[in-house]
Amino acid sequence: MTAGSDGPRAVAGEAALHIPVLGDEVLDFLRVVDGGIYVDGTFGAGGYTRAILAAADCRVIGIDRDQAAIARGASMVSAAQGRLTLIEDQFSNLAAVAHETGADAVDGVVLDLGVSSMQLDTPERGFSFRLDGPLDMRMGSDGPSAADVVAHADERDLANIIFLLGEERHSRGVARAIVRARAEAPIRTTAALASIVGRVVRSKPNDIHPATRTFQALRIFVNDELGELVAALTAAERILKPGGRLVVVSFHSLEDRIVKSFLIERSETRGGSRHAPELVRPEPTFGVLTKKPVTAGEAELSRNPRARSAKLRAGERTEAAPRAGALDDLLPRLPSLADVMKGR
């Protein structure tokens, strides 16, 4: 069945308020079936969840750390008549959340990474350099804000955060300008920070906004987005049943690189070397379904320019046991948020 079919599989009373990026492709790779259980680890506006529920007589566990997103989804829960459970939590905890809702194993996990359009379009959330508001950027409701990081991080840490997470080549100049400006007055608003960055980073017509990379870096750092992603990938490995599908849509190179590296590492079986031929290597836990990332076609790009940077990667769970151990080598080397707030 396709999304939008009527009858008991449709989510009655729900208009298609949000069309998710690469929505058709996500459904194809998830291979949604009747009786299946799926985790939408980044519920947001509910676009993927709505499509999954309409595609089959299945169940969805939606997770979002944004309290506002969970509140907005209340009508979907009611319309789904027991097929949708929404949980306010971080998607790194998706395996535990699934267990707590009675799912020992699931048929699919989908992750749509980055910031949502709703968050960007709400000035008081502090994500946008185009809309003045408090310099917040927190996806959840607790922990230090971007203003706290800008106020406490030393110049070297600021430069590293902006360079490694924003890929901003003027990171040292931006960090220096921030430190000088905060010595004169606290930097509390998005407009104030954007103005400071704009005096250092010059842009040409049709270039991205000068503050784009700095705002991206601070948002990723404040929310530990890359650490969350690595933890979510390993959580998906633990909760997916054999044949279950993992589908991830990312919007910049840092995220895509982590997803690609994870799937490659988990799909390889490296044999022993001549120095240790008897060494037993773990069996692959995933089969890679996307040798190259799937990107949006021209029709989708004409409807939604935001899809231009989207890349979809997918894997299918094997019968091998989940692998143990951390994947810290996938993350850039940066101080923790706690260390930065302590002035380390």
Buried b (16+ CB within 10 A) or exposed e, 14-27: beeeeebbbbebbb
Distance of CA 84 to the CA centre of its chain: 21
Which residue matches tokens 């040798």? 291
Q: What is the CATH code of the structural domain delimited by 23-117+226-330? A: 3.40.50.150
Residue intervals of the chain classified under CATH 3.40.50.150 are 23-117+226-330
Total residue count of the chain as it appears in this document = 344
Distance CA 182, CA 125 (A): 21
Which listed CATH number (1.10.150.170, 3.40.605.10, 3.40.50.20, 3.30.420.40) goes with 141-222? 1.10.150.170
Q: Which amino acid is at 289?
A: L
pLDDT at residue 5, rounded to an integer:
34
Q: Where are the alpha helices (DSSP H) in the chain?
A: 23-30, 47-55, 67-72, 74-80, 94-100, 117-120, 146-152, 155-166, 171-184, 190-198, 212-222, 225-239, 253-267, 298-303, 337-342
Parallel, antiparallel or unpaired: strands 59-64 and 311-317: unpaired
Q: What does the pLDDT profile of the chain (344 residues) look like in tens digits?
A: 333 333 344 453 343 456 789 999 999 999 999 999 999 999 999 999 999 999 999 999 999 999 999 999 999 999 999 999 999 999 999 999 999 999 999 999 999 998 777 777 777 787 888 889 999 999 987 899 999 999 999 999 999 999 999 999 999 999 999 999 999 999 999 999 999 999 999 888 778 889 999 999 999 999 999 999 999 999 999 999 999 999 999 999 999 999 999 999 999 876 555 555 556 678 999 999 999 999 999 999 998 888 899 999 999 999 999 998 778 889 999 999 999 988 76
Residue intervals of the chain classified under CATH 1.10.150.170 are 141-222
pLDDT at residue 92, rounded to an integer:
96
Distance CA 29, CA 303 (A): 22
- What are phi and psi for residue 106, nearest 5 degrees? -125, 165
How far separated are the first and last CA of the chain, in Å rounded? 55
Is pTM beyond 0.95 here?
no
Parallel, antiparallel or unpaired: strands 106-112 and 84-88: unpaired
Cα dist from 139 to 9, 142, 196, 222, 275, whole Å: 31, 9, 24, 9, 49
Shortest CA distance to 54 belongs to which of 108, 12, 107, 106?
12
In three-state secondary structure terms, 246 is strand
In three-state secondary structure terms, 295 is coil
Distance CA 202, CA 222 (A): 25
Which residue matches tokens 């302590």? 342
